[in-house]
Amino acid sequence: MTSILVVEDDAPLRRALRTSLRARDLEVHESTNGEDALVLAADRRPDLVLLDLGLPGIDGIETLGRLRAFSDVPVIVLTARDRAADKVAALDAGADDYVTKPFDADELLARVRAALRRSPQTGSGPSVVQCDGLEIDLVQRRVRLDGTPVHLTRTELALLEVLVRNPGKLLAHDYLLRQVWGQGYGGQSNYLRVYVRQLRRKLGDDATNPRLILTEPGIGYRWIADA
């Protein structure tokens, strides 16, 4: 059963979320603070986290930062804070989506479904991809080039995984930005170009004669490597 960790100190809202999620046959774990949420996330390994920012003790941003040290679980932030700076801070800390209170329950559930669809599922597609001396282990999240480990940041790994799991498909800038960085980054193609350039450099790919990542000017990128 798909499991959701709800991190919310408002008891009535937490009960409402529990009722709504369980009605959709989702397993629900609950926490009222960041410290306990981190323990639950490590122990129960939920499929998605709904995270309030205004928590007692460590706040939601710090909780998210600590969570990202050991987990790539999708996180949807729930908060009454509606300033752009708060949204950017949450997305930069690793949130996948951002919902401002008060919110419509159906909209939140739609965002939950979308985040779960985007989340890589174990066993979907090959777990190890090999091509021209490059080995990408999608389960262990390890990359080797001619037998030598390649250090990639978490963001670079996430971008590589989206590309590799969609071989030959044209992936638009907006799609890649939202898949890797979250909903708030749909229009920042310059940001994406920087990471693609870093990824190419580390993987030994040449933009002028690509064997891995093909640029479709003004549109997006394709993973073209032959497995």
Whether the predicted pLDDT of 20 surpasses 90:
yes
What are the domain boundaries of the chain? 3-118, 128-223
* Mean per-residue pLDDT over the chain, rounded: 86
188 vs 47 pLDDT, higher one: 47
How confident is the model at residue 189, as a pLDDT? Answer: 73
Q: How far apart are CA 37 and CA 48, in angstroms?
A: 12
Are 179 and 188 in contact, with CB atoms under 8 Å apart?
Answer: no
How confident is the model at residue 198, as a pLDDT? Answer: 92
Are 127 and 164 in contact, with CB atoms under 8 Å apart?
Answer: no
3-118, which class in CATH?
A: alpha beta
202 vs 115 pLDDT, higher one: 202
CATH number of the structural domain 128-223? 1.10.10.10
pTM above the 0.85 mark?
no
CA angle at 106 for the pair 100 and 111, rounded to the nearest 5°: 60
pLDDT digits (tens, 9 = 90+) for 68-114: 877 888 999 998 887 878 887 888 788 888 888 888 899 899 889 88
